[in-house]
Structure 1
Amino acid sequence: MFNPSRDQARRFFIDAWQKHRQRTGLAPLEQVAAELIEQHPEYHALLDDPESAEKDFSPEDGQINPFLHLSLHLAIHEQLSIDQPPGLRAAYDACLAVRGDRHAALHDVLECLGETIWQAQRSGTAPDAVAYVEAVWRRSRLA
């Protein structure tokens, strides 16, 4: 199973972005990462700096961790490609139909995934896949 360290995950995004900008060959997952990064211009300068892998991002200071954000996007990309957990693809499609914007719909899913992971960490249990999909359906009705 793929279980990179924090530094490995950060280097993956930095390296994928550098390869993309240098127009060198990208592995399929790096291509997906580069496309996600393109959708987040607010992270470009950060990812242009290899030293950014060392930076800490504190939610208490109102900072969003761009590496976590991109990692969640990447996880969602994989989940949607295999409809896992079951029903996620249909719930995402409902968000997309309401939002009319792919990236906004992905952010709806991302918010639900983040909440699901937070709840699992807080309770010391496995993530609740059913609750995750139901949360995405609820977002589609609120959007």
Structure 2
Amino acid sequence: MFNPTRDQARLFFIESWRKHHAREPLTDMESVAAELIAQHPEYHALLENPEAVHKDFRPEDGQINPFLHLSLHLAIHEQLSINQPAGLRDAYDACLAHHAGNRHAALHDMLEALGETLFNSQRNGQPPDAQAYVENVMRRAGRP
């Protein structure tokens, strides 16, 4: 199983963006990463700086970690591709309809739900609750 270090995960995004701009061949996963990065222009300057690998993003300073944000997007992309957890694709479709077809807004709802699920898992010392995650996405779509 692939278990990158923090720096390896960050370098993956930086290198995917660099290769995208250089018009170099990309792996399938690098293509997905580059597409996600393209949807987040607020991260472009950061990702064009290889030293960003070492930057800390502290919530107490009001900072959002762009690498975490992009990693969650990537995880959701993979989850949707295999509909895992079960029912996630239907929940996404409900979010998409709720946001009048705005794919990025729907994905951000999912991202927030996934973040909450992971936070609760860590806080409670339990595995992530897949059903609660899907239900959270459905609630964000305005469905009980």
For this structure pair, what is the TM-score category when the shorter chain's length is used for normalisation?
over 0.9
Q: Kindly state the Cα deviation for residue 2 of structure 1 after the two structures are TM-superposed.
A: 1.5
Aligned residues with identical type, % of pairs: 71
Q: Structure 2: how far apart are the matches of 1:2 and 1:43?
A: 25
Aligned to 2:102: 101
SS of residue matched to 2:113: helix
In structure 2, C-alpha distance between the alignment counterparts of 1:130 and 1:47, rounded to whole Å: 34
State how many pairs are aligned.
142
Kindly provide the CA deviation profile for residues 54-86 of structure 1, in whole angstroms up to 9, marking residues without a partner as x: 000001111000000000000000000000000
Q: What are structure 2's unaligned runs of at least 5 residues? A: none
Counterpart residue identity of residue 41, structure 1:
P
- Larger relative helix fraction: 1
Query: What is the TM-score of this pair, normalised by structure 1?
Result: 0.98
Question: Which runs of 5 or more structure 1 residues have no equivalent in the other structure?
Answer: none
Corresponding residue for 2:88? 88
The CA deviation at 1:111 is 0.2
Deviation (angstroms), 1:45: 0.1
The DSSP-based 3-state class of the residue aligned with 1:80 is: helix
SS at match of 2:134: helix
Rounded Cα–Cα distance in structure 1 between residues aligned with 2:129 and 2:2: 21
The alignment yields a C-alpha RMSD, in angstroms, of: 0.7
Query: Following superposition of structure 1 onto structure 2, how do residues 94-133 of structure 1 map, counting pairs within 5 Å?
Result: 94-99=94-99, 100-133=101-134
